[in-house]
């Protein structure tokens, strides 16, 4: 039986100027290296053997019902505005409606040049493809809204990067949509009000059918993004490139480039090699998402009948966002210390612990996880710093009904640690995909103890430490 995807392509029905219709550039020797069978089932994908999957998800064969296109968008990259970006190495094959009735994009990433490639080659190499595969699936396992990974295919062709020739690959990404803040900015910057309105209507119908108009959309996106960033902070996740073109209006985490999870806690942690100013540092992510929402607000103002009133209304929405993020963050961190309802007293307790963790170089994930079993003090350079905090915490915990259960649901045992990701990529480049498969298996259940995965819970030894991550374009 041939491979079948139940396509229904609503983006392709939008006006021509939203995209360029474009096929993938065929690759020499496509070979399937990963297939997410559970997700494929969820999406109603049926039939097809391994060879068919390799052909379709490398771009060598266009599946029936697909309408491949490269989406155009704009975006602020590190604060500077580019009026035209777009899918420079990606193609939207189309959309399918999943078993739960949710419409999902099927996108190839690394599928060859498009009119938006600028100086790029349109390709991706194996390292970032596997990195995004594992990272996005790990985020899903953690219960954090994210794009998913459906397939990875090796192309059998080299990709040239600074390091020389590297094995090429194509990732198939699944997303609620690929509509970005930068998509709105594209039409706003061109003063294309009809386009902007069509995009707004499309985004509302797709993601927020309960709201009306640009103001409703803005408020809904702000709410989703506030929740999302609080969830990132609660697991020590650093996105690394929160440009407006990498901020999805769906509220899903998107574009896993130089992202990373923190090992030892420090609020100003930065990994991305290109983020010299620390714009996208761990504890600046709340500020940046507010800034990005201000850009979305600016892009939406022209759709409002009364511009001045809209500016006032939208400004109020954006200004209220930090408080929303902080409330969500406090709630998430209260749970991490076993407290079901956050208030000022609880927030102070959390902040005191975090300050001690920063000072004591405590491992973020392991410290919180060990709160349940008495091992937390061992995570600190000076365990006495933890002991001084513990007494007040225990006194407060006495008022909780089931703090153990609250903590176990909030504190993962396992996260994709950087050094393990690097080791996994190194092994895969050498032809060994066992570490990749193992990470996927283990990270599907991050809240389980999994004693056999003890090695994946350990922070890096000094020789294993990864100090910088790369966009890997
Ligand atoms: P990113 O930083 O990965 O979100 O990419 C920013 C922009 O650069 C997007 O418009 C991408 O499509 C484009 N881009 C990144 N890498 C490549 C590449 N290898 N070839 C062509 N375009 C690329
Ligand atoms: Mg991007």
Distance, in Å, from the CA atom of 463 to the CA atom of 456, rounded to the nearest integer, reads 16
Token code pair at residue 32: 């399937």
Average pLDDT along the chain: 97
Ligand 1 atom closest to Cα of residue 90? 12
Mutate to test the pocket of ligand 1, among 24, 107, 120 (most ligand atoms within 8 A of CB): 120
Q: Is 177 exposed, middle or buried (0-12, 13-18, 19+ CB in 10 A)?
A: buried
Closest C-alpha to 292, from 256, 340, 325:
325
Q: Cα 13 to chain center, whole Å?
A: 27
- Separation of CA 274 and ligand 1 centre (Å): 14
In the structure, ligand 2 is a single-atom ion and the residues with CB under 5 Å from it are 246, 255
The stretch 169-180 carries a mean pLDDT of: 98
Residue 213 has pLDDT above 90, yes or no: yes
What angle separates helix 126-141 from helix 418-429, to the nearest 10 degrees? 140
pLDDT in tens, 292-348: 999 999 999 999 999 999 999 999 999 999 999 999 999 999 999 999 999 999 999
Which residues, judged by CB distance below 6 Å to any ligand atom, belong to the binding site of ligand 1? 85-89, 116-117, 120-123, 241, 246, 255, 257, 471, 473
What is the set of active-site residues? 245
Distance, in Å, from the CA atom of 1 to the CA atom of 369, rounded to the nearest integer, reads 47
pLDDT in tens, 271-284: 888 998 999 999 99
pLDDT band at residue 465 under the 50/70/90 scheme: confident
pLDDT band at residue 411 under the 50/70/90 scheme: very high
Q: Give the closest ligand to the alpha carbon of residue 240.
A: 1
Identify the pLDDT of residue 18. 98
Residue 71 has pLDDT above 60, yes or no: yes
pLDDT band at residue 163 under the 50/70/90 scheme: confident
Report the predicted TM-score, pTM, of the whole model to 2 decimal places. 0.98
Identify the pLDDT of residue 129. 98
Residue 473 has pLDDT above 60, yes or no: no
Mutate to test the pocket of ligand 1, among 19, 88, 126 (most ligand atoms within 8 A of CB): 88
pLDDT band at residue 32 under the 50/70/90 scheme: very high
Determine the straight-line distance between the first and last CA of the chain, rounded to whole angstroms.
36
Give the phi and the psi of residue 36 in degrees, each rounded to 5.
-95, 85
Token code pair at residue 283: 């504890």
Measured by CA distance, the residue closest to atom 23 of ligand 1 is 88
pLDDT in tens, 233-269: 999 999 999 999 999 999 999 999 999 999 999 999 9
Q: What percent of the chain has pLDDT above 70?
A: 99
């Amino acid at each position: 039986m041939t491979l079948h995807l139940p396509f229904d392509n609503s983006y392709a029905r939008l006006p021509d100027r939203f995209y360029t219709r474009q096929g993938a550039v065929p690759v020499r020797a496509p070979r399937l290296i990963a297939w997410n069978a559970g997700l494929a089932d969820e999406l109603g994908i049926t039939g097809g053997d391994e060879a068919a999957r390799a052909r379709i998800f490398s771009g060598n064969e266009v599946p029936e019902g697909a309408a491949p296109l490269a989406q155009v968008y704009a975006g602020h990259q590190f604060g500077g505005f580019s009026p035209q970006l777009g899918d420079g190495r990606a193609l939207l094959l189309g959309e399918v409606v999943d078993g739960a009735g949710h419409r999902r994009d099927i996108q190839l990433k690394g599928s060859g040049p498009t009119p938006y490639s600028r100086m790029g080659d349109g390709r991706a190499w194996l390292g970032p493809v596997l990195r995004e595969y594992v990272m996005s699936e790990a985020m899903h396992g953690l219960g954090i809204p994210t794009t998913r990974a459906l397939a990875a295919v090796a192309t059998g062709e080299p990709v040239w990067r600074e390091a020389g020739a590297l094995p090429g690959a194509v990732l198939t990404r699944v997303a609620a949509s690929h509509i970005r803040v930068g998509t709105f900015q594209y039409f706003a910057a061109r003063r294309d009000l009809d386009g902007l309105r069509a995009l707004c209507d499309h985004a509302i119908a797709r993601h927020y059918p309960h709201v009306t108009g640009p103001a409703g959309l803005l408020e809904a996106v702000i709410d989703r993004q506030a929740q999302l960033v609080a969830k990132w902070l609660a697991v020590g996740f650093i996105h690394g490139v929160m440009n407006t073109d990498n901020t999805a209006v769906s509220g899903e985490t998107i574009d896993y480039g130089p992202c990373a999870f923190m090992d030892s806690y420090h609020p100003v942690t930065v990994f991305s090699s290109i983020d010299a100013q620390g714009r996208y540092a761990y504890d600046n992510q709340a500020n940046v998402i507010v800034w990005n929402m201000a850009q979305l607000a600016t892009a939406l103002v022209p759709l409002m009948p009364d511009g001045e009133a809209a500016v006032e209304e939208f400004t109020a929405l954006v200004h209220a966002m930090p408080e929303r993020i902080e409330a969500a963050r406090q709630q998430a961190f209260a749970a991490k210390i076993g407290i079901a309802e956050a208030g000022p007293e609880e927030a102070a307790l959390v902040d005191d612990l975090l300050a001690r963790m920063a000072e004591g170089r405590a491992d973020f994930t392991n410290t919180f996880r060990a709160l349940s079993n008495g091992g937390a003090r061992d995570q600190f350079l000076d365990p006495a710093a933890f002991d001084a905090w513990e007494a007040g915490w225990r006194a407060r915990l006495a008022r909780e009904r089931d703090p153990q259960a609250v903590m176990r649901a909030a504190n993962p045992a396992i996260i994709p640690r950087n050094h393990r990701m690097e080791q996994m990529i190194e092994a895969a480049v050498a032809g060994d995909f066992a570490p990749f498969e193992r990470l996927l298996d283990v990270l599907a259940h991050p809240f389980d103890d999994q004693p056999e995965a003890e090695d994946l819970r350990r922070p890096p030894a000094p020789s294993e430490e990864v100090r910088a991550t790369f966009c890997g374009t």
